[in-house]
Amino acid sequence: MFSSYIENPTNCNFEGQDADEKILLLLRAHPVTNLQWIIPAILIFFAPFFIPKVLFLINLDLSAIPQSFAMVFLIINYLLVLAITFEGFLYWYFNVYIVTSKNIVDVDFHSILFKNIDVAPLRNIEDTSSSMAGILSSIFNYGNVFIQTAGTSRNIDFHAVPRPHQVADFILDESHKIHGRGINASHHPN
């Protein structure tokens, strides 16, 4: 369940899911986007090993600092690493985008105490588009998917998901199935 692109996931459900509603696609941000919190966590983790050497090079004497202060610094440092890692992982893991047989669901997890869920019926999908910007997104094939809805439903955006062009096409195809405009129906001349 740690994948960022899962077709037809098993043993998976969400709040508000209907009994006859099947999850077709479960998406999270591409794992490479986690580097924005992994790299700082690693740097902060190793900081206590390098700070004394840097201070020694600039002729600052650490022997004047009481041992209890150094221990408090280490505890605070590693608690900070733990907090950054825990929050980063939770944010990545619980921010999900779901395509079901009936709806598009965007679960935005902001913190342990706050989440936002946007649902748009597939029948209201008017158009989808996707974009990839930057070197990393081109190398790792991830980007944004924009879903335009009709009526009072909010437009939904999937951010940094894998295979954005394929996802946008998949959503539009599922919408066409609901409207009875399958692939064969769209190629008939008027």
Question: For residue 128, which of 167, 100, 93 has the smallest C-alpha distance?
Answer: 167
The average pLDDT across 49-76 equals 81
Helix (H) or strand (E) holding 128: strand 125-131
Per residue in 106-124, pLDDT tens?
A: 999 888 788 888 888 998 8
The average pLDDT across 56-60 equals 77
Do the beta carbons of residue 189 and residue 117 sit within 8 Å?
A: no
Q: Is the pLDDT of residue 155 over 90?
A: no
The average pLDDT across 145-173 equals 91
Structural domains of the chain, ranges and CATH numbers in brackets:
4-8+24-183 (2.30.29)
The average pLDDT across 155-183 equals 87
25 burial class (0-12, 13-18, 19+ CB within 10 angstroms)? buried
Instruction: Please state the three-class secondary structure of the chain as a single string.
Output: CCCCEEECCCCCCCCCCCCCCCEEEEECCCHHHHHHHHHHHHHHHHHHHHHHHHHHHCCCCHHHCCHHHHHHHHHHHHHHHHHHHHHHHHHHHHCEEEEECCEEEEEEEEECCEEEEEEEEHHHEEEEEEECCCHHHHHHCEEEEEEEECCCCCCEEEEEEECHHHHHHHHHHHHHHHHCCCHHHHCCCC
pLDDT of residue 184: 47
Q: How many helices (H) and strands (E) does the chain have?
A: 5, 8
Helix (H, G, I), strand (E, B) or coil at 116: strand
Tokens of 112: 């342990």
Q: Is the pLDDT of residue 153 over 70?
A: no
pLDDT band at 68 (very low <50, low <70, confident <90, very high): confident
Question: For residue 32, which of 163, 109, 137 has the smallest C-alpha distance?
Answer: 137
pLDDT of residue 189: 45
Percent of the chain at pLDDT exceeding 70: 93
Helix (H) or strand (E) holding 81: helix 67-94
pLDDT of residue 65: 75
